[in-house]
Amino acid sequence: MLTFETTQVQGVKAIIEKLTSLPFQKVLHNISSLDAQPASPNGDVIVMVTGALIVDDESTTQRYSQVFHLIPEGGSYFVFNDIFRLNYG
C-alpha cells in the first residue's frame, strides 16, 4: 500500500500507475535524517526518512517525510507499506 499525501493506493499495478502519473519528470532527494528499527521478530524493518526534494529543474526545495515498512524476502526486502507526505509550513 502507498499513501501519497492523502491518496491511498493498494497493489503493484495501482501504485505504478499513481507514481507514473505524477506531474514531474525527475526528483532529487536530499536526505536530512534516516532512522530504522526492527518492526517484528520476523525481520521486518520500519524506516523513516526526512529531507528535501527538488522537482524537475525548480530552484526551491520542498520538505518531505516518508516511512517505509520493509519485509524480508529471498535475501532482500520489499516495500510492504510506504507513506509519503510533503511538510508544509
Taking residues 53-81, report their average pLDDT.
93
4-52 pLDDT per residue, tens: 888 899 998 998 898 888 888 888 899 999 999 999 999 999 999 999 9
CATH of 25-82, one of 3.40.50.300, 3.90.230.10, 3.10.450.50, 3.40.50.720: 3.10.450.50
Q: Where are the domains of the chain?
A: 25-82
Whole-Å CA distances, 71 to 3, 4, 54, 66, 81: 17, 20, 29, 16, 9
Kindly write down the DSSP assignment for every residue of 2-42, as one continuous string: EEETTEEE-SHHHHHHHHHTSS-S-EEEEEEEEEEEE-STT
What is the predicted pLDDT for the residue at 49? Answer: 98
Taking residues 66-80, report their average pLDDT.
95
User: Do 63 and 84 touch, CB atoms closer than 8 A?
Assistant: no
